[in-house]
Structure 1
Amino acid sequence: MDTTLRDPLIGRALDGRYRIEARIAVGGMATVYRAVDTRLDRVLAVKVMHPSLAADAAFVERFIREAKSVARLDHPNVVGVYDQGTDGDYGYLAMEYVAGCTLRDVLREQGALTPRAALDVLEPIAAALGAAHRSGLVHRDMKPENVLIGSDGRVKVADFGLVRAVGNETTATSGSVLGTVSYLAPEQIEDGSADQRTDVYACGVLLYEMLTGAKARSGATPGAVLYQHLNEDVPAPSAAAPGLAPGLDDLVARAAARDPGERPADAVALLALVRQVRAGLTGEQLDAVPPTARTPLAPGAEDRTAVVPRPGGGPAEGAVDRTARFQVPPDLVREETVAPAVRRPSRRGLIALLVALAVLVCGGAVVWYVGSGQFTSVPPVLALTQDEAGKRLRAAGLGVSFGEAWSETVAKGRVVSTDPGPGARIRGNGTVRVVVSRGPHRVAVPDVTGQPLDAARDRISGAGLTPGTVAKAFSDSVPAGSVISTDPAKGTARKSGDAVAFTVSKGRPVPVPDVTGKTVSDAEQALTGAGLKVEVSGTPVYSDAVPKDSVAQQSPGHGTQAAAGDTVTLTVSKGQQLFKVPDVTGKDVDEATRILQQAGFKVSVIQVFFTGKVFNQSPGGGSTQPKNTTITLWAR
């Protein structure tokens, strides 16, 4: 029976906005749904707290506070938190919906990755955690299931806010710590503490798993895994995958050091270290083909997010929904007297054994995403051929329907996306819609030559292209206002949405006649006869060459090509500019000459006597004359 039919949230709009369409996963603390934001018309994921948690006011307050902190991260490698709210008994987060698969899906399907691929995944993880660490947030539950790989290849880290809120609760009040056993740092197990270096440890363990295809910590029980975290160093990945570069061994050893003080201080420092190690590797070392993966196809108990005990904690106040809390009996944590010759077990070792005992008694850890036996996960088929995808989905007991879509990044005939996406929960006999690439979408630029510009724009838009810039040119054959050509040219194949520029006709060119020196009326007659319009400037200018009231200037000038109906602006002459002639009578000839030349006049001297004094000048002083007029001086 399809249990989603009995989910009261399916079909409901939380806060009248987020319409719940399908359940993606169910966990001990929340259920994740695919939903549609009816205001913005976009698909997103909505994580709804279980009512047992939503009823706890203190938990909800922390949940809201941490959700706001995560929402402020705004990092491309963090699954975005869009909104938070409550609707009746339901507290929820509205988050980015990532279509793709998890790192766990990739490891389960492919096994070990090449060093290049592993570092390509680790870098954005470290970048995301670095942004969180700078904001004072610690993830606390880094694992492959919380690393999402979108269909576009982008890596995103998920589950920041809820993990932090639950971590605060369990550490502060119950003496327990939340985490996934395979990726817990020693300090989380020993005393429940967690800081930025805790996330760095998990990254080191993740890198080991990506390089080798096997978990760094494994055991028959979660307790055995916890014991290894406390008492054994993470092995060098080259021991499991011979041929790996020593720099990768060193990177894992530093990130996953048991002593937090020996790790990079935070994910920002880790990212710098990762890039330093990558820079020191050769192309051959980065692309070394890994050995056969040893990652189990089904998750083990150590994969599950669990609440495990820490020593010294107070009594549990009740389990949180499906999450088990394992408590250490206080009377078991005590000093024992031993003979000097006998080595006493380390405190960490004793704690690990007690934890293991508690785990055995309580029955193991609890899965974060719990599924009904009637459901299955959609296997990853992205980039497979249509036949390969169909076979894999049918082998998982699922029905298949196919569709097609254009894609710039996925080769023709290979899978672009699925609905539901990879890893999503689906009824065992449900149908997965598979979208197969038709290859890059190319559109031929339509022939719009000779069409009016508006009609040409409409046709370009109708072809899926974008009308672009417009240039103008003369044409003897294309009417004014119609298209002469396009760029790209007609028939060229372009991507949908590409811009197409137009060259539009200004009509036949009209040579502009020379009307300078003509009277305004004669100039107007000549220009209008050529099919041009005339405008007379309101500001006349002086001209030494053109008589007053005649045309001194024209724009555009003589010989310019203009379009019929273009306007030619005329500027009228005020004639020559006149300047006052200085009176130099009675002055020495040399001084008189200097004064007149400085005033812009030329000088001619007629010497009557030789005393050198000017007794007459023509034109006379005080008259107005054009520049460069010759002033004649008589001297005696």
Structure 2
Amino acid sequence: MQPDRHAAGGASDPMTGRLLDGRYRVGSRIARGGMASVYEATDLRLDRTVAVKIMHPGMGDDAEFAARFVREARAAARLSHPNVVAVYDQGDDDGTVFLAMELIDGHTLRDVIRKESPIPPGRALALLEPILSALASAHRAGLIHRDVKPENVLIADDGRIKVADFGLARAVSADTQHTATGGVLIGTVSYLAPELVVDGRADARADVYAAGVLLFEMLTGTKPHEGESPIQVAYKHVHEDVPAPSSVVPGIPAYVDALVARATARDKELRPSDAGVLLHQVHRVSHALAEGVVDDADLTADLTPLRMRFEAAEAPGPDDTAPEPFGSDVVPAYVPPPPGEVTTPLRTLPRPAAAPPATRPPRRSRKGLVLLLVLLLLVVGGGVGAWWFLDGRYTNTPGVLGLTKAAATEKLDDAGLDAAFGEEAYSETVPAGRVVATDPEPGAKVVDGGTVTVTISLGKERYDVPKLAGKTVDQAQDALTATHLAYGESVERWSDDVAEGVVIRTDPKAGTTLRPDTPVDLVVSKGPRPVNVRDWTGKDADAAMAWADKHGLNGRIASQEYSDDVAEGDVISQDPTGGSTLHHGDDISFVVSQGPPLVEVPNVRAQGVDAATKTLEALGFHVTTEKAAGYLGLGFVFSQDPGSGQSVPRGSTITLSII
């Protein structure tokens, strides 16, 4: 991906200014590659500046390609390492697939190579070390990068080195070693390992090869294989060894050449098994450079791939111009090689010359006999020397797999070898505390007194589901990533107790022990369930208030009013009305009836019964009459109940006693 800070990232770019997923405000474009562009953006939710990688329009229509793009987020998010560009988020905004990543202000390793190459070996290895550290972390997690190149190595302004773009990374397991992306080669051709070119299969050693090419390019300023087309370059990766850096830049120590040869061996079995092993070898070479060592034959031999050591021993030296001691008339003499070696004519014996005519019996030549003995000594000495150089000074790495650390150390010590312990690694088959791998591998040759790097098993890689209840979804996703577990999906549920957007629980539940990258689902609160408001008109106001409290609503009596139609204590009206929808904490108010209004009873005593009745009915009262004690038949009101001056509800009954 090429830097593009001054390219069309302004108003002419339709992405600039767009808000992705309601969260990321896209700014100017800073880089553009074959499948995506990278923009500077603002994370509005967390108020931070990020880099957003956006797939080019139309490419998301390819389901397989989009799935690979999404895998970049999940693969890279698994890696928590200071030399890996952090991936924060992944999303799809109406067909626009994107990643949110850590923003690194600085430049790329390509810029450094362009400006500084050829880079001195010490500086080149110092640049390579953090790259290998990042790749080693990925390899321990079961991931390969597949696209290691200078453009994917970012160097921050403060000097930090970060490996970016794990978009082609793929989880490695015993049953998924098949061609990436349906057989299509993925990666930059200048850094492709031969096995990727031949059949698309790759493991951690493909990244080791690319790192070796990277080192060659830093040391020389050129790529090891050039061609007029990518096919020609790929062909050279398969059929030609990477040349020694010293053939391009004289003066580079032989052990540095050997390191490059080891990392870029065409036969992947001759390369370091992963970036962690290569990092250990880089440390050895860096130490030799720091000590000012010009030549270290043992280190050179130890790093040089075995096949190349044989080829070097068999090939005539370029400076071997000394004439044969017996002239040109010679015949080859076969000398048996040491066991396991290639049969090679090492020296020649003189052809017999024609005997001159003899006038007397020939006299034996002492000079010829001496020369013959010298020749035999030279042949034997040469054979012994060749045997010593090619095999005699080596021993086989003993098998220590499955042993404890102490037992492995003792066995290596008995074999005359030193044990060095690299970073521990997880294993599904080897118990914790026992040897899971060695470099060199068991049975491989190693210089007598050399070092065997031992990897101790951490046991099965398992992680407990963290307690995420009460966290926001973003916080929960970050916690899962930090625990090497994967975020599955969010399932929303109503909750009267947990605020909206907050995790209620996880599935599997907190504390469950899982393999790395196992998806964990989040059950997230949607807040309280909405309340359908009942119609309480004409119903008991106390019952209405109890219902509101039960459903988390703020019920209140707005007022009390007289009503001729609604009984005292019942609801005259409510706000909002029945059939409305409320949420937890919303208000609902009621107007409660005080019954009919009160009316003062007038004094109608001594009035005629008809006149009194008319007066009371006009005020809304009901009137009944009865005969008073001592009734005389006069038809006048003797008394009334209720009495005059009392206030009673409209519609009350007034009883008149008639005399």
Q: TM-score band (shorter)? A: 0.3 to 0.5
Which structure would you say has the larger Rg?
Answer: 2
Q: Which has the higher contact order (CA 8 A, sep 6+)?
A: 1
TM-score (norm 1): 0.43
